[in-house]
Amino acid sequence: MILKVYTKLLNHFGPQGWWPTSKLVEPPEWEVCVGAILTQNTNWKNVEKALTNLKIADVIDPDSIMKMNTDKLAELIKPSGFYNQKAERLKRFTEFVMEKESVQNFLKTVTREELLAFNGIGPETADSILLYACGRKQFVVDAYTKRIFNRMGVIDTENYEQIRNMFEEKLPNNIRVYREYHALLVKLGKTNCKKEPVCSTCPLTKICKKKI
């Protein structure tokens, strides 16, 4: 069922192309890390506004974030919501990254356990960094994933690790599939499998066992 859903979504929506990231940030993976922190409890459109503010002010690089006054940083990332908390968290996270001497060294050496031990990073954020920034095969489970597969009757749990393990056991050993699948589930969650679902045009209607 996991692979069948992937094929149906890919045929219906086509490739989502979430990557690579902006070429305005060096290394580009750093923008993924910043975005992963800012996207907590908000949508990506708001994060894009905050990232744009940082780019315009030319302060998105790690050194600038560490040196910047927290209040000023909070003002720049205000569109992302919870900006005071996120400004403090982003500064701490940047310091955490630079303890590895460079962003690139962080991307190569950081472990999932280290990320989860960082106060303010949960499994979804950690796996997003590992998948999209570090280039590791770590499936990201978000609210859309849980909603879609619970409604379909494929799972009956909200447990993050159980769902992640299920996907990683069934999917090909291919990082592009991991990234594409996550993006396709987000697309479906926004267009059809909303809180109030639109089942009439959903590409999964024929195989969904839990009709709403």
Q: From the options 1.20.1260.10, 3.10.20.600, 3.40.50.80, 1.10.340.30, give the CATH code of 29-133.
A: 1.10.340.30
Over residues 61-113, the pLDDT tens digits come to: 999 999 999 999 999 999 999 999 999 999 999 999 999 999 999 999 999 99
Here the tokens at position 98 are 């630079």
Closest CA to 1 of 136, 173, 166, 176: 166
Under 8 Å between Cβ of 121 and 25: no
pLDDT bucket at 209, cuts 50 / 70 / 90: confident
Evaluate whether 2-17+139-158+168-207 and 29-133 have a shared fold.
no
Q: For residue 39, with 0-12 CB atoms within 10 Å meaning exposed, 13-18 middle and 19 or more buried, which class applies? A: buried
Q: Which residues of 132-152 are buried (b: 16+ CB within 10 A; e: fewer)?
A: bbbeebbbbbbebbbbbbebb
> CB 162: neighbour CB atoms within 10 A?
11
pLDDT at 68: 95
Domain boundaries, the chain: 2-17+139-158+168-207, 29-133
Question: Residue 133, CB half-sphere, CA atoms under 13 Å: how many?
Answer: 31
DSSP codes joined into one string, 19-42: -S--TTSSSTHHHHHHHHHHTTTS
CATH architecture, domain 2-17+139-158+168-207: Orthogonal Bundle (1.10)
pLDDT bucket at 21, cuts 50 / 70 / 90: low
pLDDT at 22: 59
